Amino acid sequence: MMKKLSISYLFIFFATSLYSQNNDWIKKTPFGGGKRERAVAFAIGNRGYIGTGQDSSNILNKDLWEYDSADDIWTQKANFPGVARRNAVGFAVANKGYIGLGINHPDAFLGTRQSDMWEYNPQTNTWLQKANFPGNSGTGIYYATAFVINNLAYVCGGKNGPSTYSNQLWSFNPAINQWVYVSAFPGIKMERYGLIGVGINGKAYIGLGANEDNYQNDWWEFDPQTNTWTKKLDFPGSARMGCIGFELNGRAYIGLGIDGGYKDDFYEYNPQTNKWFIKKNYDGGGRRGAVSFVIDKFGYVGTGKSETGTKQNFYQYWPGSPNDVNEYHQELSVSVFPNPASENFTVSIKNNSIKYTIQLLNTNGEVVHSTINIGGNTEINRENLAPGVYFIKLLPEENTVQKDVITKKIIIL
């Protein structure tokens, strides 16, 4: 009598391990200012800085803390001289730190948008007020993103009010204390807040964010030399806002955020090849409103808010060597039916736009049948196959972003 066999489905990835050895998170001393979200951060030399933001009691802060990566310790520095705020911007240019913009109340309907910008000198532990941000008719903005290209800071997007948004990109030159309107962000729902931007090799890479509850995952390259935007491959995770992002070794690292739920996934983007790679999830757990900076070719990520509340924990990211074997793959729907099969059976591939070679292997790993699938259904004749367990292996064509080998088990009766 034939035994009933359970059918298992499994995906076997081309890599034996999803992560390279050095693709890891190392827990560090928690942020010195306590639990915090919607703060700002920047790095100068071998020191990182986190300031402003909202604590677990919804109190806004104006403190500034310095992180010594060599000794893994936090030291409080001179308070930010502007009003306490959340969702400001922070960046560093030429060994000076800058904090500005934001809103001065936990409730956006009760708060006042800020337009001031302040320069921090770590050598003297002093602050100097700079030119106000002139965007949004000079009335301030919050939830914008900031990044630096060639000693110019850029501020993009943000909230003009509780339900109104900006698509403006402005540059700030600290050397001459001057703001200049540059361009409009071009994405669908281009007026948005909570974007993320990263400067890499003279260009910027900007995207994600939200307009009301319409989360986005588009990704754009901005070239300041030609003042042009180029659409790039979409961020591979879910559409979201409130992410962290930083540059290491010519790559962008983007992750965390909120899409209706708190995210902990993490990705690497290679601008040279326009490809995304899956990296190890953030060890601190899903969150939005975290901060990040880079010291000595390591990323640092911490604070933020999760399902369980406001966070204080802080981690160092070791990227290791870029590992292209972990390249992001299009999410496919693959099914085999009937299974078990006594005659012909069908391999169905949905959400697919590339060519696959379908191989049928026996339990010794020998290929007993091979055909091509370019999307949709492919019928395979049992021919003279002996009863038993076989594996259907789907091999993507070369020179495509789809690098995973997908395998499914089938039972021939």
Q: What is the pLDDT of residue 379?
A: 87
In degrees, rounded to 5, the angle at the alpha carbon of residue 337 between the alpha carbons of residues 333 and 341 is 150
Mean pLDDT across 89-107 = 98
Q: Lowest-confidence range among 130-134, 360-364, 398-402?
A: 398-402
Res 233 pLDDT > 90: yes
Most confident stretch, 64-68, 183-187, 390-394: 64-68
Higher pLDDT, 340 or 147: 147
Q: pLDDT value at position 378?
A: 87
Is 57 a residue whose pLDDT tops 50?
A: yes
pLDDT band at 8 (very low <50, low <70, confident <90, very high): very low
Residue 133 has pLDDT above 70, yes or no: yes
Query: What distance in Å separates the CA atoms of residue 353 and residue 337, rounded to the nearest whole number?
Result: 21
Residue 5 banded pLDDT, cuts 50, 70, 90:
very low
Residue 328 has pLDDT above 60, yes or no: no
Q: What is the pLDDT of residue 336?
A: 87
From the list 154, 159, 157, 155, the residue with the least C-alpha distance to 113 is 159
Say what the pLDDT of residue 375 is. 64
Q: Residue 250 above 60 pLDDT?
A: yes
Domain 333-412 part of CATH 1.10.40.30: no
Please report which helix (H) or strand (E) contains residue 291, including its range.
strand 291-295
Residue 40, SS3 per DSSP: strand
> Looking at domain 24-322, which CATH architecture does it have?
6 Propeller (2.120)
Instruction: Classify residue 383 as exposed, middle or buried by CB count within 10 Å of its CB (0-12, 13-18, 19+).
Output: exposed
pLDDT category at 179 given cuts 50, 70, 90 is: very high
Where is mean pLDDT largest: 78-92, 231-245, 358-372?
78-92
- The burial class, CB within 10 Å (0-12 / 13-18 / 19+), for 121 is middle
Question: Is it the case that residue 76 has pLDDT exceeding 80?
Answer: yes
Residues 157 and 166: beta-carbon distance below 8 Å: yes
Banded model confidence at residue 343, pLDDT cuts 50, 70, 90: confident
pLDDT at 348: 85
Could you list the beta-strand ranges (E) of 104-158: 117-121, 126-130, 145-149, 152-156
pLDDT at 358: 85
User: What is the chain's mean pLDDT, rounded?
Assistant: 88
Note the pTM of the prediction, 2 decimals.
0.75
C-beta separation of 411 from 4 below 8 A:
no
| β-pairing verdict for 145-149 and 126-130 | unpaired
Q: What is the pLDDT of residue 218?
A: 95
Domain ranges in the chain with CATH number 2.120.10.80: 24-322
In the chain, list all ranges with CATH 2.60.40.3080: 333-412
Residue 274's pLDDT is what? 94
∠ CA 394-396-401, rounded to 5°: 135
